[in-house]
Amino acid sequence: MENIPDKLKYTKTHEWVKIDGDVATVGITDHAQHELSDIVFLELPHVGRRVKVGEACAVVESHKTASDIYSPLSGEITDANSKLLNDLSIINSDPYGEGWFFKIKISNRDEVTRLLSAADYKQIIAA
Amino acid sequence: MEAKTKLKRTPLYQSHIDLGGKMVDFAGWEMPVQYSTLLEEHLAVRNNVGIFDISHMGQLIVSGASSQKFLNYLLTNDVSKLNVGDAQYTLMCNEQGGVIDDLYVYYIEDDKYLLIINASRTDVDLSHILYVLNSYPEKSKVCIDFLKNAGAVAVQGPKAVDVIQTIINSPSIDGAQVNTPLELKKNQIGKFNFNGEPIYISRTGYTGEDGFELFSSGKSIVQFWEQVFGQRERFQIKPAGLGARDTLRLEACYPLYGNELDEQTTPFEAGLKIFVSLEKGEFVGRKALMKSTEIKRRCIAFKMIEKTPPPRHGYFVWSDTVQDKPIGAVTSGTHSPMLGIGIGMAYVLTEFSPAGTKLNIEIRGKKYPAELVKKPFYKKS
């Protein structure tokens, strides 16, 4: 079974979100990395970019397809995990840890309450 | 989820599920796109051996006293060059010289041919073939039989010979050119006995590696698959899905119908001139092809110069010397497992088609440098 940590929030587009005060860390779920399998290219957002909730702001590419990664929250990108660009396999091997994509300074707290719980997300990927 | 249409299943469906295959809709068939990872499966075929279910491809028997003459009228390559036991890559064109399908013709017995056509083109092909046959003078001496419930697998890779000689260990039957499958040369086919059932084995494939394709009843193909996996450890064989099939054929620069080929594209534009025999006499599309002396665009291969996002179908191709419009578009692209960089095929204006030409591929609004290279990207050593 795929790993879905209880302490994280999720989106139906397979991003995970870790809330730390007014900063959210975002990555892709174990389910997503498994579906993509070998990742051959990653494009991360620039630090300082302002994104809206649901906006495509990163791209993950496997041999077969390019997949957009959507920002789960509105805000400003404060950090991007450029370490991944040197070793994309980290996304597959540690999706919830070293495999994080970017951090956002949250501009609208209300959006946080609309994120999915682990149980909600589990139902979505089982459907 | 998308609307559910009833997908067809091959005789090997349950085997795919048992092996953990991730199933997708391919041309109306529920097929495995991958079992483990695309990369692992790709490398298994390049370095060792992989097995593909190709039962979704259409199998057609054309027989009768005028079958050879009819096929020579229907197809672009010269069927009369074949002896029993020979196979030939060929194209089927419309009157305008556009490609209806690309296919393999196997001359399996006197006055009897096996045609392997693309799954995505089966219905179109059948109606075209029957349409051409209907006005063919000797139609009473041609019989077309579409095989339902047939099965087929491709065993591909440098170690494919080990698998075939272990599982198929009885001599050929019905006057094949060879005694054993290993004697088959590239583009040859023979009929063999497998558990008391006839099975056709050809030395053909779609990967750029040595390998075999096997055609028989669905039941026999399932038995073959099970015997192979009964000795999985010994052969070190991996099941390979449509994902690896696509990256393998792209490294070998084999065209894929719907990408490099369609009804608006001629074999000449596609770079498949050697499979068109204009000298053999009249055939469907010949008049148009005779007139198409000036070829405006060509199917070329390119590779990215630096690390970039992989090129994909539909991306525009630009030249530094033309500012206002693209010079072509990508038809297939991926990250090449063997080259470790983005590769693709594209149609570009003929003036930009020599090897070494500098190109730019537009990816998400940004242009990345690429170089036009000679086909193929990968050749087996």
Residues of B at the A interface (Cβ-Cβ below 8 Å)? 1, 33-34, 37-39, 42, 243, 246-247, 307-310, 312, 334-335, 337, 364
pLDDT tier at B175 (50, 70, 90 boundaries)? Answer: low
Q: Is B268 within 8 Å of B289 (Cβ atoms)? A: yes
Task: Flag whether pLDDT at B1 surpasses 50.
Answer: no
User: What mean pLDDT do residues B143-157 have?
Assistant: 97
Q: Is the peptide bond before B255 cis (omega within 30 degrees of 0)?
A: no
**Residue B170's domain spans which residues?**
13-54+149-251
Segment (H or E) for B289: helix B286-291
Last residue of a domain, one of B216, B251, B286: B251
CA triple B124-B4-B123, angle to 5 deg: 10
**In a domain? residue B78:** no
Task: Write the residue in A38, A43, A127 that is nearest to B39 by C-beta.
Answer: A38
Are B18 and B158 part of one and the same domain? yes
Residue B123 counted as domain residue: no
Asked if residue B84 belongs to a domain, the reply is: no
Q: Do the domain assignments include residue B237?
A: yes
Mutate to test the interface with A, among B34, B256, B335 (most CBs of A within 10 A): B335
Q: Distance from B372 to chain A by nearest Cα, in Å?
A: 21
pLDDT of residue B162: 97
Q: Is residue B98 part of a domain?
A: no
Q: What is the mean pLDDT of residues B278-296?
A: 95
In a shared domain, residues B356 and B301? yes
Contacts of B247 in chain A (CB under 8 A): 63
CB contact under 8 A, A62 and B38: yes
The answer to whether the beta carbons of residues B345 and B330 sit under 8 Å apart is: yes
Overall average pLDDT of the B322-329 stretch:
96
Q: Please state the φ and ψ torsions of residue B173, each to the nearest 5 degrees.
A: -125, 165
> What is the residue-averaged pLDDT of chain B?
96
A102-106/A23-28 β-pairing: antiparallel
Q: Is the pLDDT of residue B2 over 70?
A: no
Give this prediction's pTM.
0.94
Q: Are residues B226 and B364 in the same domain?
A: no
For residue B48, give the CATH number of its domain. Answer: 3.30.1360.120
CB < 8 Å to A59, chain B: 309, 364
What six digits make up the tokens of B213? 């394709």
ipTM over 0.90: no
Q: Please tell me the predicted confidence (pLDDT) of residue B172.
A: 84
Is position B135 within any domain?
Answer: no
Residue A16 CB partners (closer than 8 Å, separation 6+): A5, A8, A9, A10, A26, A27, A28, A29, A95, A96
The mean predicted confidence, pLDDT, of chain A is 95
State residue B4's pLDDT score.
60
Q: How far apart are CA A49 and CA A104, in angstroms?
A: 9
Question: Does residue B176 share a domain with residue B30?
Answer: yes
| Average confidence (pLDDT) over B80-100 | 97
Outline where DSSP puts E strands in A21-116. Answer: 23-28, 39-43, 50-51, 56-62, 66-70, 75-80, 102-106
In terms of pLDDT, which residue wins out, B292 or B93? B93
Low-confidence winner among B166-175, B196-205, B256-265 (lowest mean pLDDT): B166-175
Contacts of B310 in chain A (CB under 8 A): 40-41, 61, 63, 66
The yes-or-no verdict on residue B117 having pLDDT over 90 is yes
Chain centroid to CA B195 = 28
Q: How confident is the model at residue B3 (pLDDT cuts 50, 70, 90)?
A: low
Q: If one looks up domain A9-116 in CATH, what number appears?
A: 2.40.50.100
Show residues of chain B in contact with A34, CB under 8 Å: none
pLDDT at B334 over 70: yes
Q: Which residue of A has its CA nearest to B39?
A: A38
Q: Which residues of A touch B307 (CB under 8 A)?
A: 41
pLDDT grade, residue B252 (50/70/90)? very high
CATH number reported for the structural domain that contains residue B348 in this entry: 2.40.30.110
- Count of domains observed in chain B: 2
What is the DSSP pairing of strand B50-53 with strand B238-239?
parallel
The whole-number pLDDT of residue A127 equals: 79
Q: Is the CB of B246 less than 8 angstroms away from the CB of A41?
A: no
Considering the domain architecture, whether residues B247 and B333 belong to the same structural domain is answered as no
Task: Please report, rounded to a whole number, the percentage of residues in chain B having pLDDT higher than 90.
Answer: 94
Tell me if B258 is assigned to some domain: no
Residue B22, number of CB atoms within 10 A of its CB:
17
Is B37 in Cβ contact with A37 (below 8 Å)?
yes
Q: Is residue B99 part of a domain?
A: no
Domain end position, chosen among B225, B251, B277: B251
Q: What are A14-53's pLDDT values in tens digits? A: 999 999 999 999 999 999 999 888 899 999 999 999 999 9
Q: Confidence band (pLDDT; 50, 70, 90) for A1?
A: low
> Are residues B336 and B244 part of one domain?
no
B364 and B229 in a single domain? The answer is no
The domain segmentation of chain A, as residue ranges, is: 9-116
Residue of chain A minimizing CA distance to B42: A63
